[in-house]
Structure 1
Amino acid sequence: MAQDMLLGNEEPSNNKETFLQQFCLLAKNATGAALLDVIKQVLDAPNVFVFGELLAEPNVAELKDGPDAKYYNTLNLFAYGTYKQFRAQPQEYIELTPAMQKKLQHLTIVSLAIKSKSIPYAVLLNELEIDNVRHLEDIIIEAIYADIIHGKLFQNTRILEVDYAQGRDIPPGYTGKIVETLQAWVNSCDGVSNCIEMQINYANAEKAKRLYNKERIEQELINLKKVLKSQASDSDESMQIDTHGPGTSGTSGMSQSEVRKKPTKMKNPRSSAVGLKFSK
């Protein structure tokens, strides 16, 4: 059965940036043990998950090559690293409190969520070095309530589906890679746009061709109908002429053979008896 851990569509609160700015102000004028204490506080703070601005403070950057380099390394780990990196070389960092370790695990989940929106439990167990599924789900739920990720736990398939993940700090020198990635994306979009434009032009040309052929066929049909109508009219006139025939005057439409066969009437039958002789 799936367990829905989505906490709504609200954007992360700006209070997180406010908390970080407060620590930056404290660190700006702090030196020695006071500065180290500020770093511990910011690593322990439950509402701070970005550390780039604090790392950029000059007095914090000076710790990198000094006797307190572990503090700088730990702050740098929380800004860009993962829990597995800490476990690989714990001697490079200060001793983490349970709260710090849990925060680093939350940040590790964020890094995984940025790379993939569907994260198997197996990957999470390995990256967080946890051997108990129930413990893993508790860590994920805490990250959701911390508002650094939004997602759903699918317990039947053992997958975390991520809907939102807060961004992490960008490592120095990584801006160029981002520019290259964005430029590649722009080039890809241009290629798709050109392809779509070519398809539109081809479709318009085909449409114009079909309209031209349709108009041509319709005109040919009109011309053919005119020709057929003219031929039908000529045929009707020819049939009428053949029916009446030539020489209609004086014969009432009879043919010459009929006229020959018709007996003629004698005008004066008595005249035929002239010159005949009768004997007794």
Structure 2
Amino acid sequence: MDQAHNRAIEALQPFIHLANSNSATSPRFVAQIITNATSHPHTYVFAELLETPTIQSLRAPDAPAEYQGYLKLLEIFAWGTWQDYQGIPDLPKLSAEQSKKLRLLTLITLTTKPKPLTYTSLQMALGLPSTGDLEALVTSAIYSGLLHARLSPTTTPPSVNVTSVAPLRDVQPASLSNMAIQLTEWEARCGQVVRDLEAEIQAVKLNAKRRAAKESSFERIFKARVDEHHVEIKSKGGGSRSGDARGGRGNKGKVLAMGYKREADDIEGDDGFFDAGEGMDIDEGAGAGRNNGSGSRTKRVLGERQF
């Protein structure tokens, strides 16, 4: 797209040189410069040519009326449309090359508007009688690098889908004030959007800090509770082990004491028959039965006594 713009500026330079030359003295010669410039296949911008004193001389009151229309024609090629040309009487008649060039320029202008580019609307705006003529013009614009587009003749309604357009139209001087107002309003909207985004960013950062502080507090509380639980488990486990040790030593003492007591009882009841075997019955004699008065005999078992 930039190449098309540079090519258009380069194509206009010879006509600018002619307009600034000493030979451009007659209105007829100036009108011929305008005709040749608007007929050239690669010229699509004309503001620089319009600003030359030679071209502006056609605006003078003493300029012949038959040539004054060429200045208006050049202005239409610079920022006007096909419908503008049709709406102004007494303008110079266009050649086939000029008609195609003005329609191509009009097509570029139409693509910048939000309205859908249907076949019907484009044919009316460009003054084309058939869809074949419209498709041929759009195809020529695509191959010339003026725009990137796709024809959709089978859609309902048939339309032209444009994706990009070359910056090849000049800006009308009277529209500069409106453009400045629109740019100022756009700048104000952009500033408001930036301020809103900054406020959202600050809110997100503040929420993130609060969430991080809350999570950190929760982690500290959780760690403290876990540490307390570990201390409690250690304290309970240590007391149980010490108690078991003490209990084990106490039980061992009791077992030893019981063993010593049993041995003492065995020694105390020993009557010389210890080697006869534990639990061996010994009859102490018939006279011993009188001690019970029932005729029963007293038995002595080694290691313990039974009565």
TM-score by length of 2: 0.70
Deviation (angstroms), 1:148: 2.2
| Matched residue, 2:280 | none
CA distance in 2, matches of 1:118, 1:252: 108
Deviation (angstroms), 1:117: 9.0
CA distance in 2, matches of 1:43, 1:115: 24
| Matched residue, 2:17 | 25
| Matched residue, 2:77 | 78
| Matched residue, 1:278 | none
Deviation (angstroms), 1:24: 1.5
| Matched residue, 2:294 | none
1:4-50 Cα shifts (integer Å, max 9, x gaps): xxxxx773163321221211221223122211211211122222111
Amino acid of the structure 1 residue aligned with 2:51: A
Q: Is the 8 A contact 1:73 1:92 kept in 2?
A: no
- Percent identity reads 23
CA distance in 2, matches of 1:21, 1:172: 21
1:82-104 Cα shifts (integer Å, max 9, x gaps): 11122223x23111112211211
* Alignment length (residue pairs): 253
1:44 and 2:45 aligned: no
1:122 and 2:86 aligned: no
Q: Larger Cα Rg: Structure 1 or Structure 2?
A: 2
Give the one of 96, 99, 102 matched to 1:98.
Answer: 96
CA distance in 1, matches of 2:2, 2:9: 16
User: Are the structure 2 counterparts of residues 79 and 240 from structure 1 closer, same or farther at C-alpha, using a change threshold of 3 Å?
Assistant: closer
1:184 and 2:177 aligned: no
CA distance in 2, matches of 1:235, 1:21: 100
Deviation (angstroms), 1:137: 0.6
CA distance in 1, matches of 2:5, 2:181: 30
Q: Is the 8 A contact 1:113 1:165 kept in 2?
A: no
CA distance in 2, matches of 1:32, 1:242: 126
Q: Is the 8 A contact 1:105 1:128 kept in 2?
A: yes
Between 197-206 and 98-107, report the one with greater CA deviation: 197-206
| Matched residue, 1:167 | 168
User: Are the structure 2 counterparts of residues 119 and 240 from structure 1 closer, same or farther at C-alpha, using a change threshold of 3 Å?
Assistant: same
CA distance in 2, matches of 1:13, 1:130: 26
User: Are the structure 2 counterparts of residues 146 and 227 from structure 1 closer, same or farther at C-alpha, using a change threshold of 3 Å?
Assistant: closer
CA distance in 1, matches of 2:168, 2:189: 24
Amino acid of the structure 2 residue aligned with 1:55: L
| Matched residue, 1:272 | none
CA distance in 1, matches of 2:27, 2:196: 61
Q: Is the 8 A contact 1:82 1:104 kept in 2?
A: yes
Amino acid of the structure 1 residue aligned with 2:9: E
CA distance in 1, matches of 2:170, 2:215: 63
Q: Is the 8 A contact 2:147 2:166 kept in 1?
A: yes
TM-score by length of 1: 0.76
CA distance in 2, matches of 1:240, 1:147: 93
CA distance in 2, matches of 1:33, 1:194: 59
Deviation (angstroms), 1:105: 0.8
| Matched residue, 1:113 | 111
CA distance in 2, matches of 1:117, 1:164: 15
Q: Is the 8 A contact 2:47 2:78 kept in 1?
A: yes
Deviation (angstroms), 1:217: 1.4
CA distance in 2, matches of 1:44, 1:237: 106
Amino acid of the structure 2 residue aligned with 1:78: F
CA distance in 2, matches of 1:80, 1:151: 22
1:221-262 Cα shifts (integer Å, max 9, x gaps): 2221232233334445666788879xx79x949xxxxxxxxx
CA distance in 2, matches of 1:134, 1:45: 24
CA distance in 2, matches of 1:52, 1:78: 10
Q: Is the 8 A contact 1:20 1:48 kept in 2?
A: yes
Deviation (angstroms), 1:125: 1.0
Amino acid of the structure 1 residue aligned with 2:11: F
1:127-183 Cα shifts (integer Å, max 9, x gaps): 012231011111111222333223221222222222223331111132233333333
Extract unaligned runs of 5+ from structure 2: 256-264, 269-307
Q: Is the 8 A contact 2:27 2:58 kept in 1?
A: no
Extract unaligned runs of 5+ from structure 1: 1-8, 254-264, 269-280
User: Are the structure 2 counterparts of residues 231 and 166 from structure 1 closer, same or farther at C-alpha, using a change threshold of 3 Å?
Assistant: closer
